[in-house]
Structure 1
Amino acid sequence: MTIHAFQRSLEQKLTELGAESPRFDAAQLLRWLSGQEQAWLIAHAADPCPEDWQSRSEDALARLRGGEPLQYLLGEWEFYGLTLAVGPGVLIPRADTETVVDACLERLTPSSGPVIWDLCSGSGAIALALASCRPDARILAAEFSDEALSYLRRNIAALAPGQVEAVQTDVLTRLPDGVCDLIVSNPPYITGADMQTLSPQVRHEPELALYGGEDGLRFYRQLTRSCYDHLRPGGWLIFEIGYDQGESVPELLRQRGFAEVFCQTDLAGVPRCAGGRRPL
């Protein structure tokens, strides 16, 4: 079997497992099994596939059949062009969240040195993506979970040491001290009903990062209230939201007094983020 044929067989097996992106996932799995970069694998596609890659793939596929997310198996995942360490205990970065990063960058002041807070930071995906695009920004990434905090600190050390600072806090009860120009958060927002319908892969992710109260709005209610006074006049509060929260979260922002309230869709046309601005 050639390396190319082996990759095609991985793609077929991942399709049978219900992978959403079997071709992409097969390429990532092959890169992990081989220890080689994609360019090398393409150049050697016609070479015989080493037997140990094939034998190790059986164990990997068994883990995936058991519901383990591919991202946890690999130990890393790409987000906004960055490679982030991930594993059990931390939310997996998803491409949909890149819409939130774009919304933040569009609304950040062009003046130098903006101060940004990323609440419920998890692996640091949003904070580090913003840091990569705005090297002049000073960013505070707040996370409560010990497990997630370990990945957050590891990713900061690899990608933005000195620019992004990790702090441990429960944002429902205590925000960091001070004021800032932008607060962004991808908080837990899955409802009690939807928690019962999650896929086996998502069930491996921490409930602490998923469950947002019975109606999914617990964090939004608290943060729209508590974040207002930590924003400078003209500063923005921007959330990732669930697919069915495109009306409820903007309404919470309006009730608190935010102006220029918006809801933005992702590439699939699904409501993905909402935000508002503290009036000048």
Structure 2
Amino acid sequence: MTRQSVIANPPPQKNSSHSIQSLLDTASGQLSAASETAMLDAEVLLCHCLDKTRSFLRAWPEHQPSPHQIAQFQLLVEQRSQGTPVAYLTGQREFWSRNFKVSPDVLIPRPDTELLIELSLALLPKDRPGKIIDLGTGSGIIAITLAVERPLAQVFASDLSSAALDVAQYNAQQLNTSNISFLQSHWFDNIQETGFDLVLSNPPYIADNDPHLHEGDVRFEPASALISPENGLRDIRLLAEQARLHLKDNGQLLVEHGYNQQTEVQAIFNEFGYQKVNTYADLSGNPRVTSGIWEPL
């Protein structure tokens, strides 16, 4: 082969614009107007397309994904730039160090809700049986986490939405939880069981005129799981009223609520006769969960 032919037919060059690092840099710039965590969003979406961890992205920044992976990634970035939550694009979100399937039929798990888990685990020792119900379970993160952490407990999970229950049941199967039962019900309407040690809920608690409904991920989440009438308090009131008939003596009701609803929620608990009403703060220092003990006279 002559020198001239070698020069005329050089080896194919890789396109540096398709490396992991360049794809992330481009996507981060594209997402900067839509997300405060643009680079993190880009990394999570690329990991999803590559089926790799974020440590892989850092270890191999020059790696070039396949054309199919690049096309998939660019499509997800475009959807994210229009506001679609990352969790709905990847179909999963971590909660209590476990991955849960999520869909637009359920709320996206948030770190604030882990406070309900912490409080529940403190109230129910691991070495004794217990009876728990999680009302409005959504993706099942509360009920399933407690079922895994407290294998001796009998756990119930209910939701009005059959689509949400499908997601929760899938998550329970993936995490091999056998001590949990699922029921379709609007709060306690179809619940016959009584004698619960713990009644838990992360109910709708946002007022229908709250401006946050038009911001961020909540724009894409199911309104029925977010909005409650009477300034966001109607469902909490129903729970407090109905739970009394299903708790055992000295059983506890724990409800997640908005950061500015502590006074109103405590008043509701007191109105319905709960004792030792307390509110606990989340990791950001915001009042997030109120509990009360049912001690019938």
TM-score, normalisation: structure 2: 0.86
DSSP-derived class of the 2:231 partner: coil
For residues 1-280 of structure 1, what are the structure 2 equivalents within 5 Å?
Answer: 1=16, 2-19=19-36, 21-109=37-125, 112-171=128-187, 173-194=189-210, 197-199=213-215, 201-279=217-295
Q: Which consecutive unaligned segments of at least 5 residues does structure 1 have?
A: none
Query: 8 Å contact 1:131–1:160 — kept in the other structure?
Result: no
DSSP-derived class of the 2:171 partner: helix
DSSP-derived class of the 2:166 partner: helix
Query: 8 Å contact 1:265–1:272 — kept in the other structure?
Result: yes
Q: Which residue of 1 aligns with 2:3?
A: none
Q: How many residues align?
A: 279
Letter aligned with residue 115 of structure 1: K
Q: In the TM superposition, what whole-angstrom CA distance separates every residue of 1:9-58 from its partner, at most 9, and x where no partner exists?
A: 43343332124x33433332111111223343343234334444333222
Distance 1:129 1:208 in 2: 23
Query: 8 Å contact 2:34–2:83 — kept in the other structure?
Result: no
Distance 1:10 1:277 in 2: 50
Distance 2:32 2:232 in 1: 31
Distance 1:109 1:86 in 2: 29
Distance 1:48 1:106 in 2: 48
Larger Rg: 2
TM-score, normalisation: structure 1: 0.91
Letter aligned with residue 56 of structure 1: Q
Distance 2:212 2:50 in 1: 37
Distance 2:57 2:169 in 1: 32
* Change beyond 3 A, Cα 1:109–1:36: closer
Greater relative CO (CA pairs within 8 A, separation 6+)? 1
Q: Which residue of 1 aligns with 2:13?
A: none
DSSP-derived class of the 2:209 partner: helix
Q: In the TM superposition, what whole-angstrom CA distance separates every residue of 1:148-185 from its partner, at most 9, and x where no partner exists?
A: 11101111111143111111111163434222100100
Distance 1:9 1:115 in 2: 51
Query: 8 Å contact 2:136–2:159 — kept in the other structure?
Result: yes
Q: Which residue of 1 aligns with 2:5?
A: none
Q: In the TM superposition, what whole-angstrom CA distance separates every residue of 1:93-136 from its partner, at most 9, and x where no partner exists?
A: 11111112112212225651111100000000111121232222
Query: 8 Å contact 2:126–2:152 — kept in the other structure?
Result: no
Distance 2:287 2:212 in 1: 22
Distance 2:87 2:34 in 1: 15
CA RMSD of aligned residues (A): 2.1
- Between 1:62-71 and 1:185-194, the stretch displaced more is 62-71
Query: 8 Å contact 1:195–1:211 — kept in the other structure?
Result: no
Q: Which consecutive unaligned segments of at least 5 residues does structure 2 have?
A: 1-15
Q: In the TM superposition, what whole-angstrom CA distance separates every residue of 1:191-226 from its partner, at most 9, and x where no partner exists?
A: 021167422631221111111113101111111111
